[in-house]
Amino acid sequence: MEDKIQSAINLLENECQKKNVSYSLSLIDPQRKCKLILSGNLLHVTLSLVAAFKNLEQIAEKTTCNCPTCSEFKRILDIDEPSSEDSTESNCDRIDALLEEFFRGGSI
């Protein structure tokens, strides 16, 4: 990870430990190198992961894009694709917005 990002992660870790906050943090860079950081109470970490997964499922269910990338994403999550023929590849832009909302912790 980039030094600036690693520094922010370290700061977050320190603050969470001070406040006794459990967390799960997942990062992936453009080369698809993934880093997963879990800390705190095991039950709370598990609940945060389950909540994140459920939110991701809801986002995936709402997108109508049927481009190859979105179709594979839905296949991995075992989500049936809508039968709509009018979805176009331009709808793929929408999944980026949905994922941004997800990572901000919002609900779509």
Contact 40, 16 (CB under 8 A): yes
pTM score, whole prediction:
0.59
Q: Which residue has the higher pLDDT, 40 or 60?
A: 40
Quick one: CA dihedral 61, 67, 70, 76, positive or negative?
Answer: positive
36 lies in the same domain as 54: no
Give the total number of structural domains in the chain: 2
pLDDT the model gives residue 2 = 84
Number of helices (H), then strands (E), belonging to the chain: the values are 4, 2
| Same domain as 54, residue 35 | no
Sign of CA dihedral 15, 106, 96, 72: positive
| Same domain for 100 and 63 | yes
